Structure 1
Amino acid sequence: MSRYPKGYRKPTDSCNSCLAWGNFSGRHCQTCYMFGRSHETATCAGCRRVQPLKWNYCRLCWCQARLNTQTAAGPLTAEADARARLQAVRHHQLFFVGLHHRNGPAPAPAQRGGRRGPPRKLPPAPAWRPSADWSQLPLFEQIPRDYSRLDPTAVDLTSPWLAWAKHLAHQIAEARGWGRNIRFAVNRGLALVLTEHVEGDVIRHSEIFTPLRARDLPVGHTVTVLEEMGIFLDDKEPSFESWLTERLEGLSPGISTEAERWTRTLRDGGPRSLPRRQGTVWLYLNHVRPALLDWSNRYDHLREVTRDDVLAHTRTLHGHHRRDQLVALRSLFAWAKRAGLIFRNPTSRIKVGQYEYGVLQPLIPAQVDRSVAAATTPAARLILALAAVHAARVAQIGTLMLDDLDIGNRRMTIAGRARPLDDLTLKLLLDWLEHRRSRWPNTANLHLLINNQTATKTGRASNHWISTAMRGQDATLERLRIDRQLEEALTHGRDPLHLAQVFGLDEKTAMRYAASARALLEQAAEQKHQ
């Protein structure tokens, strides 16, 4: 995170590492920042400064050694030659950011009516999967390959597998709008992992993730090419497994085993039950965990839990906490009864109770104004309008596609329901589309809202990114959505059918908004007569 406030332009400064003078954000120039991420910090053998080191020398000493090679024979080649040049450094010539490496010939002058500089690099030659006349079978199947031990200078650039990978990478890059930096980094990663690759080898995620990250190479884009080649195996552990292990920690062995079976049945479904959404599974296990931790101190299995134990636990809870935990416990013990793990369901005949919803309250203008002031980017302003004007949920905003827009007829389709575009939303939408076109002109992502991470892919933006601008405000996107639907109920009558037709609400939710509007209008009438 930058140490300067948003909108502040950092003045020209010198890098804290290489002392180069120029315009950059933060304390280090971009090259020193990347150099520091891949090298350990210690005392430099040349200038005696505490800096990230390569072969015991900091980047400033490396730049001076390269500068000295201009008057010597040949560049820095072997390690012994490089160490000799580094030891010979006795002074440092300061430079401007980005100029120390310009040791080659001057760019060709621009031709009349032509482009400036060297010709554009040609795309890789077409290549296909190498033919496998014969292949050496691996001696040991389960021994993982250590890609971190490969020397980047010893990669096999003539490998037919690498030629095929570069051809596929170029096609994917053209289709998805990858920039030059991403293409170069992907080719470097492919050259690293495909060195010594033969027919029958499988590249695993666990083998390449750490080596590629250590060299700041894009793992996801490299994996995309390897998957297209059909030689990649995704063996990383799902996040659900690590989360489940963490949630079951501290339970007695018997209760832990039974709770794990119940959780997996919720996620995957069973002979007489449908699979639940992953968010529902997380909530259910989180709700029953406090009770299971308490019972694990006394019991080894769920069949030892009695009705009195359940009642004693629920007496310590109130409001929606009691209701949520009791619903989850009823699900757990009902599954255990069907599976034959318990004789009687201890939660039977324990009433959950009707949840009484409070009266929805409208937002005050000051809260809305602060949220409007927090929306400073074209994307944030459009997101704010979609929630506050069209009552769109965060997930619905993230799944909007370019095909959902009909600007000519001033219509937009949100969650399968066509809505007219008002003047404000139309203006914000056109501003965002112009910003999107100028910022990512070559993107192949068809989602309406994209960012730096999704512009080179085809997936949607995360809910976290969509709600970032309104996080911490009183009028969040969810509160704005609720306020818009409540305003519709107050303005156009307390008719649940009208609300269900306009916003696509189910009957219970529409009746709740209508009841809140009726209570607010009655309260306002009473205050008027007092």
Structure 2
Amino acid sequence: MTPPDRQHASIARTATSCASCLAWGLPYRRGLCRACYDFIAPRYDHPVGECGACRRREPLKKGFCRLCWCQARLERTTGTYKMLIPHVRLVRHHQLFFADMAGYRDTHTAPRRFDETGRKPPPPPTCRPTIRYIQPAFSDHVIRRRYRYGQFDLRRGPAPDNPWLAWGLYIAHNLAERRGWGPFVRGGMQRTLVMLLAGHTDGELIRVSDFYETVAEHSTNIDDTIEILTVMGVVLDDRQQAFDRWLRAELDGLAPAIRRDTHTWATTLRNGGPRNRARTPSTVSNYLHAIRPALTTWSTRYDHLREITRDDVIAYLDTLTGSPRDKATTALRSLFAWAKRTNIIFRNPAVHLHVPQRDDPVWQPLRPDELARTLAATTTVHGRLFVALAAIHAARVGQIRALQLDDVDLGNRRITIAGHARPLDDLTHQTLLAWLEHRRTRWPNTANRHLIISPCTAGGLGPVSYPFLARPLRGLPATLERLRIDRQLEEALTSGADPLHVAAVFGVSDTTAIRYADNARHLLARPHETDPLESPRTQASRPDGEPHRHLGSG
């Protein structure tokens, strides 16, 4: 027995009343029973205050202590899932109980509404309500609405009589049928629409900021809710974009004019313009992070971008080396070129600044122990499929996410990745069969045509997220991207550094094929670096459709 165990065993616990719910039994911690100890856990965020029923000062959930919630559960006479709020407000006495034995009364569920087929009848077909007259607003002041979830119970009766609600429920039913929503998702969407549309009037716009937190707390998909309300034309998406919040925080502390112009430049990069294509948020973030120290330093001496000279730009770049210098040079050229084009500055101080051409890195083949760690970490069906597609077919993460069911031809043993048809080897074929069986069993009614789906995307039409693919190999040296690089490098090594062969097998561009061929030629010139642990080499793949026989060829 370890010393902590001996110390714990020496403490004799005697039966007493719980300090919170007054239950009789052995205390768990701090004089509380196990249920009350969990009730005050920080993750639940139950503040201490005066209970709205018994007036005791205890941790509160929605204004009432745990003992009052237990009493309300005992006094409830309807179904298990009926709301307890009406009962807990009427609590005036308590039935004490033994600790960890607060049972639930066996009650009948609420009467269900079924038709002759045994299923809940679908909502009747409804069209857009006819708007006869809209009362003009008396002022421009925005009136915020507070929505209360679960106000109506659709299991006990029909929905409130509102033509907008009837139309919304009909749209939601059709959307659920097309996308294969389960009962839980359907019920959550119905309760959300009842909350939003039960009191809706003609001409009223529902602001997303008014119901976002309430809906998110009950695990209802926000995007699906907004999609239904958008079809109805009754929603105003006034949410603040995450990119805008990040940009304001990133530019905080700069000189006002420099902050304004940099904000406009970053927004133009993100959204695009007449002569600019839109960039991804990660590109804008990399640009801004590269020049943020320079903008901070210049803001202490200058008030405007037009005051910055070429000497200032070169002085900042001289403090950097390698990749940070290249990124800062590219970002400064973009910023000042945009400022000159929009007549914000008179002269471009970053003109003729060149980014030096650097040699491509020389990749080394993965070691067998690194591959073994990756194979040992992929214990799920989808994780094994990710590894097979990256390590055998050299598929990028974005290409794996974009794969459709139509891209897989099991009969002819072919798979199309980014428009390039490839033969299916035995390992990938068996992995695909296992995944498709799991997909059919787990989500039999999904309408998502992507090959890879998750619990978050099964009810929609979009691809899985990047973290969903990267999570199985997080922290390992052989990530999906590294497996893809190693697969193409291995093909270049086994083909004798032939770029035409690499391009034919994987369908990559000429530049990419030449780069991998040069990498392989460099390794073949020094064999002791090519094969560090004497791993067996394999025969080159055949682009004519011959199935491959090893894990590294596909």
Deviates more, 1:242-251 or 1:482-491: 242-251
Q: Secondary structure of the residue that 1:283 maps to in structure 2? A: helix
Task: Check if 1:103 corresponds to 2:107.
Answer: yes
Counterpart check, 1:353 vs 2:352? no
Q: 1:90 corresponds to which letter in structure 2?
A: Q
1:508, CA displacement in angstroms?
Answer: 2.7
Q: Equivalent residue for 2:387?
A: 384
Q: Within 5 Å, give how 1:410-425 maps onto structure 2.
A: 410-425=413-428
Query: Which residue of 1 is the match for residue 138 of structure 2?
Result: 139
Residue 522, structure 1, aligned to residue 525, structure 2: yes
2:304 maps to 301
Moved more, 380-389 or 199-208: 199-208
Deviations 1:161-199 (A, max 9, x none): 222222221111111111111211111111111122112
Q: Distance in 1 between matches of 2:76 and 2:380?
A: 48
Corresponding residue number in structure 2 for 1:458: 461
Pick from 340, 343, 355: which aligns with 2:343?
340
Contact 1:47-1:61 at 8 Å conserved across structures: no
SS in 1 for 2:415: strand
User: Matched residues in 2 for 1:527 and 1:236: separation?
Assistant: 54
Partners of 2:174 and 2:152 lie apart in 1 by 26
Residue among 162, 184, 189 paired with 1:186: 189
Counterpart amino acid of residue 64 in structure 2? N
* Structure 1 residues 249 and 120, CA gap change in structure 2 (3 angstroms): same
| Matched residue, 1:310 | 313
The within-5 A match list for 1:120-519 is: 120-148=119-147, 152=151, 157-215=160-218, 217-519=220-522
Point out where structure 1 has 5 or more consecutive residues left out of the alignment.
1-16, 20-26, 109-114
What is the distance in 2 between the residues matched to 1:185 and 1:527?
A: 57
Q: Structure 1's 208 and 267: CA in aligned 2 closer, same or farther, altered over 3 A?
A: same
Superposed displacement of residue 301, structure 1: 1.7
1:216 positional shift = 5.0
How many angstroms does 1:141 deviate by? Answer: 4.8
CA RMSD of aligned residues (A): 3.6
Q: CA-to-partner distance for each residue in 1:54-75, whole Å, 9 max, x for gaps? A: 45232x543444434669xxx9
Contact 2:64-2:88 within 8 A present in 1 as well? no
TM-score by length of 1: 0.82
Asked if the contact 2:497–2:517 (Cα under 8 Å) also holds between the matched residues in 1, the reply is: yes
Is the Cα contact below 8 Å between 2:73 and 2:84 reproduced in 1? no
Would the alpha carbon gap of residues 265 and 105 (structure 1) be closer, same or farther in structure 2, given more than 3 Å must change?
closer
Deviation larger for 509-518 or 408-417: 509-518
Q: Residue 141 and residue 442 in structure 1: after superposition, are their counterparts in 2 closer, same or farther (change >3 A)?
A: farther
In structure 2, give the amino acid aligned to 1:103.
Answer: T
Please tell me whether the aligned partners of residues 147 and 192 of structure 1 are also in contact (alpha carbons under 8 angstroms).
no
In structure 2, how many angstroms separate the alpha carbons of the residues matched to 1:202 and 1:106? 34
Q: Which runs of 5+ in 2 are unaligned?
A: 1-19, 24-33, 532-554
Change (3 A) 1:294 1:180: same
Pick closer, same or farther for the CA change 1:137–1:335 going to 2, 3 Å.
closer
Q: Partners in 1 of 2:438 and 2:464 — Cα distance?
A: 16
CA offset at residue 371 of structure 1?
Answer: 0.9
Task: Tell me the distance in 1 between the aligned counterparts of 2:122 and 2:431.
Answer: 39
Shift in Å, 1:106: 11
When structure 1 is superposed on structure 2, of 276-285 and 315-324 the one drifting more is 276-285
Distance of 2:459 and 2:77 partners within structure 1:
39
Secondary structure of 1:412's partner? strand
Q: Distance in 1 between matches of 2:431 and 2:35?
A: 37
Alignment partners' CA distance in 2, 1:505 and 1:527:
23
The answer to whether the 8 Å contact 2:523/2:529 transfers is no
Aligned partners of 1:446 and 1:458 also within 8 Å = yes
For 1:194, give the aligned amino acid: L
Give the whole-Å Cα distance in 2 for the aligned partners of 1:39 and 1:184: 27
Q: 1:28 to 1:182 in 2, by over 3 A?
A: farther
Matched-pair contact (CA < 8 Å) for 2:122–2:173 = yes
Matches within 5 A, 1:10-159: 40=47, 51-58=59-66, 61-68=68-75, 82-84=88-90, 86-92=91-97, 100=104, 102-104=106-108, 119-148=118-147, 152=151, 157-159=160-162
**Counterpart AA for 2:74:** L
Q: Is the 8 A contact 1:41 1:52 kept in 2?
A: yes
Residue 127 of structure 1 deviates from its aligned partner by 2.4
Counterpart-to-counterpart distance in 1, 2:529 and 2:220? 67
Structure-1 separation of matches of 2:84 and 2:439: 44
